[in-house]
Amino acid sequence: MSDTFNGSFQDFLATAPEARFTDWLAARAEPYWTSACTHPFTAAIGDDTMPEAAYARYLIEDYTFVTDLASTLGYLVAKAPGMRSKSRLAGFLALLTSEENDYFLRSFKALGVLPENYETAAQGPVTRAFSDLLLTSAGKGSYEDGLTCLLCAEWCYLTWGLREAQKQRPATFYLAEWIDLHAVAGFQAFVDWIRSELDRLGPGLSAEHQQHLADLFRRMSVLEAAFFETAWTGQVPDLPDNP
C-alpha cells in the first residue's frame, strides 16, 4: 500500500509539481484507497473464484444502493454549473437505470436469489453509511462535495475493473459482465471527466474546502473497502471513528 500523505494540496504540489488535484485526494486517502482498489473480493471476480454466496450478498447490497446512487446523480445534475456537465451526469444516470438494472436481474436469477429477497432487502450498516455520505454530500453539500464522493466510488471500480480485465475472461457470465461494465471506454471516459472537473475546480477552492473534500474521499475509501469486506466474509468490519 502507498504511504499516507497528510499535507495540503499546496504541500503536495511542492513534492510533485505536475500532480493533479485528484491525485492528492487519493494520496490523502491512503491506506484505505489502496485497500478498496485491491480488496481480495475484486481479485476473485477476475480470477473466477468468487463464492456464489459472497457474490449474492454483494449484489443484493449493491442493488439496494442503486436507487441512492441514482438520486445522487440527480442532485449533481441539478447543481452542475453548465449544460455540458449536466449532460455528462445525466448520460451516466440513464446508463445506470437501464443496462445495469438488466444485469442485476439476470444475475439474481442465475444465483437463485428470489425477487422477494432482493426487492425488499434492507441496506446493511456499511451500505447505509455509504449511501448517507453520498446523498448528504450531493444533496446538502456543494457540487464539488458530491462529485468527490462520486469520484471515489467510480474511480475505484474503474481501477480494479481495468486490472481484472487483463486476466483471462471469467467463464461465469455475471463476473465477466461486471468487469465489462467497468472496463469499457465509455466508463473510463466518464471517470476521467469527473477527475477533470475536480482537477479544474479543486485548486481554486479555499484550503478549508479542499481539506473537506480530502476528508470525504478518505471516508468514502474506508466505506468502499468495508463494503467489499462485508460481502466477502459475511461480517461487518469495525470502522475507524476518525479515518
The 10s digit of each residue's pLDDT in 94-131 is: 888 877 788 999 999 999 999 999 999 999 999 999 99
pLDDT band at 3, cuts 50/70/90?
Answer: low
Q: What is the pTM assigned to this prediction? A: 0.94
Query: Which three cell numbers, joined as nine digits, stand for 202?
Result: 479543486
Residue 30 has pLDDT above 90, yes or no: yes
Domains in the chain: boundaries: 21-233
181 burial (CB, 10 Å; 0-12 / 13-18 / 19+) is: middle
Query: Residues 212-216: what's their mean pLDDT?
Result: 97
List the alpha helices (DSSP H) in the chain: 9-15, 21-28, 32-37, 40-47, 52-79, 83-96, 99-111, 115-118, 125-139, 143-164, 173-182, 185-201, 207-233
pLDDT band at 1, cuts 50/70/90?
Answer: very low
Dihedral (CA of 98, 100, 106, 108) sign: negative
Residue 194 has pLDDT above 70, yes or no: yes
Report the pLDDT value the prediction gives residue 2, as an integer from 0 to 100: 53
The 10s digit of each residue's pLDDT in 35-72 is: 999 999 999 999 999 999 999 999 999 999 999 999 99
| Buried b or exposed e, range 87-125, using 16+ CB within 10 angstroms | ebbbebbeeeeeeeeebbeebbeeeebeeeebeeeebbe
The 10s digit of each residue's pLDDT in 132-168 is: 999 999 999 999 999 999 999 999 999 999 999 999 9
Residues 214 and 189 sit within 8 Å (Cβ to Cβ): no
pLDDT band at 239, cuts 50/70/90?
Answer: confident
The residue assigned the cell 478498496 is 36
Q: What is 21-233's CATH superfamily?
A: Heme oxygenase-like (1.20.910.10)
